[in-house]
Amino acid sequence: MKKLLILFITLITFVSFANALTVGPAKIEFTADPGDTLTFNLFIRNDSDWDSKFYITVEGFTDVGGERRFFENPPEKDWVEVQKEVFLKSKEDIQIPVKINIPQSAPPGGHFLAIWVGSGAPKKEPGQVGIVSRVASLVFINVRGNAIYKADVLKFEAKRIVWDFPVKFVYLIKNEGNTYITPKGFIDIKNIFGKEVASLPVNPKEYQILPNTERLLETEWQGKFAFGIYKAVFNMSYGENNSLNFNYWFVFLNVKYLIIILILIIFVIFVLPVLIRKYNAYIIRKYTQKNE
């Protein structure tokens, strides 16, 4: 019971602490040549109500199945110069200089680092649970050279027959190059007459896709009215003047308008002829009575 109580109190403290640290920039991108030195400032703010020491560590990261995975001791770790710890009073913030030295032998393409700021790894004592809270600043580095930009859309899914909004487009993009890409562009929706009725951003959250990884993206068309045949024109750009383009046709059948059209068809086929016959019979009868 005592251990459960300690664990409960520790978890509450962890949740509070996890929301008490601000680190920025959350993401930063560089394009550099071998031998370049990159610099930026790491912003750290202690948002908690107590003074704390924070520890700064460097890791690498990659994407596996669309999920970010971090790993210790990447080769690029030796490129980074940053102080290892900092003490901040409650509500205090600081700018820590970070220097990244790109070696002359650095291979071209993408290199990815996570600079973590955390509470450190406290020593575990009997009956205690050690928990570390940390926040990362992600660094994307594209080293110039024989960089290969190559991507493909492995899958593009949307309903061929759509009954209501939103219309969801889901697409799987694979980066087959040796550096990261940030897909950009639009999915333009055009009606059967070629008029553009909507333009939807590709990769609206601006995800980076690392080399030899895939990411599933989606975009939604939130419209008010649509009916008929439509063409989705997929235009995606990435890297240096690279693009992917294709068309996808679908039919939007709005239930409300289908009911109206169905009622009109029933009226024209079944009701209108009866009314015409009755009207004609009325005219003939009236004309006959008049001539008698």
Tokens 């680092």 correspond to what residue?
113
pLDDT of residue 21: 94
pLDDT bucket at 285, cuts 50 / 70 / 90: confident
The sign one gets for the Cα dihedral 173, 178, 182, 183 is negative
Q: To the nearest 5 percent, what fractions of the chain are helix, strand and coil?
A: 20, 50, 30
Q: What's the predicted TM-score (pTM) here?
A: 0.73
Token digits of residue 174 = 């694979």
Task: Report CA dihedral (23, 24, 30, 32) to the nearest 10 degrees.
Answer: -60
Q: Is 132 left (phi over 0), alpha (psi -120 to 50) or beta?
A: beta
Q: Which residues contact 286 (CB under 8 A, 6 or more apart)?
A: none
Among 92, 80, 141, 89, smallest CA distance to 116 is for 80
Predicted confidence at residue 231, as pLDDT, reads 98
What mean pLDDT is reported for the chain?
87
What residue has token string 């068809």? Answer: 265
22: enclosing H helix or E strand = strand 21-24
Query: What distance in Å separates the CA atoms of residue 200 and residue 195, rounded to the nearest whole number?
Result: 15
pLDDT higher for 286 or 238? 238
CA distance 103 to 97: 19
Least confident of 10-14, 79-83, 217-221: 10-14
Task: Give Cβ neighbours of residue 103 (< 8 Å, ≥ 6 apart).
Answer: 34, 35, 79
- Selecting from 2.60.40.10, 3.40.50.800, 2.60.120.10, 1.20.58.1880, what CATH number does the domain 151-252 have? 2.60.40.10
Give pLDDT tens digits for 135-168: 999 999 999 998 899 999 999 999 999 998 999 9
For the chain, give every domain's residue range.
2-143, 151-252
CATH topology match: 2-143 vs 151-252: yes
φ, ψ at 57 (rounded to 5°)? -130, 160
Say which DSSP state 107 is in. Answer: P
Tell me the average pLDDT across 74-88: 96
Sign of the C-alpha dihedral, residues 78, 83, 85, 88?
Answer: negative
The correct answer on CATH 3.60.70.12 for the domain covering 2-143 is no
Could you tell me which residues come within 8 angstroms of residue 233 by beta carbon, excluding any fewer than 6 positions away? 187, 188, 189, 190, 245, 247
- Residue 257: the pLDDT is 66
Asked whether the beta carbons of 169 and 218 are under 8 A apart, the reply is yes
Q: Please report where in the chains the tokens 């690029």 appear, as a residue.
A: 76
pLDDT of residue 121: 54
Backbone angles phi, psi at 9, to 5 degrees: -65, -40
pLDDT band for position 272 (50/70/90)? confident
